[in-house]
Amino acid sequence: MSRTLRPYRAEDEQAAIDLWQRAWQAAYPQIAFAKRVEWWRARWRSDLVPVATIVVAEDDGAMTGFVTIDRATGYLDQLAVSPDCWHRGVARLLLDEAKRLAPAGITLQVNQDNGRAIRIYEQAGFRIAGADVNPHSGAPVFVMRWSGGADPRA
C-alpha cells in the first residue's frame, strides 16, 4: 500500500464530499447526512475551498481522508477519514501535516459527544481550551487547541 499526502484539486470535490458524508454518517448513524449533502457542498465551495489549505490523504490513489486548515488563522475546520481507514494512522498523518502548515498553533471545534474524535485530538497534543455551540447544528462543542512547537508530533 502506498499512502501519500497531496494538495486538494478541484476534481476532488465529489470524492471529498462523499468521504465527508460517509465519515459523519458512521460517527452519527442516527442523523440522515444524505439530506445534508447539498448544504455541505455549498459550505465546502463557499466557506472552505476559498480560504483553507486542503490536504488529501490517499492510499494507492484512493482518497482516504482530508484536512482543512486556514494557515492565516490556524483554524482547522474539517478532519475527515473514511470509516474503513479508521485506526490506520490517517488522522494522525493529516494532523501532523496541519501542524506543519500552521506551526504557530491550531484551534478547532469538536462535538462534545464525539469521544472518538476528542481522543484523536488529545493524542495529537490538542487540549480542551473552552466550550461553545456549533453555529450550524446548535450542538455543544469543545474548543481545542494545539499550541504549536518545533516537533509536529508534540
Determine, yes or no, domain membership for 67.
yes
Determine, yes or no, domain membership for 151.
no
Determine, yes or no, domain membership for 154.
no
Question: What are the tens digits of pLDDT across the range 65-115?
Answer: 999 999 999 999 999 999 999 999 999 999 999 999 999 999 999 999 999
Q: How high is the pLDDT of residue 32?
A: 77
Assign 137 a pLDDT band (cuts: 50, 70, 90). confident
Q: How high is the pLDDT of residue 69?
A: 97
Give strand pairing partners of 57: 5, 65
Determine, yes or no, domain membership for 153.
no
Grid cell for residue 135? 453555529
Determine, yes or no, domain membership for 110.
yes
Report whether pLDDT(151) > 70: no
Question: Count of domains in the chain?
Answer: 1
8 in Cβ contact with 48 (< 8 Å): no
Determine, yes or no, domain membership for 152.
no
Question: What are the tens digits of pLDDT across the range 10-57?
Answer: 999 999 999 999 998 888 878 778 788 898 899 999 999 999 999 999
39: domain CATH number is: 3.40.630.30
The CA distance from 154 to 138, in Å, is 32
Threshold 0.85, pTM exceeds? yes
93 in Cβ contact with 67 (< 8 Å): no
Task: State which residues form the domain around 102.
Answer: 3-146
Determine, yes or no, domain membership for 49.
yes
Instruction: Kindly calculate the radius of gyration of the chain based on its CA atoms and give it in whole angstroms.
Output: 15
Determine, yes or no, domain membership for 54.
yes
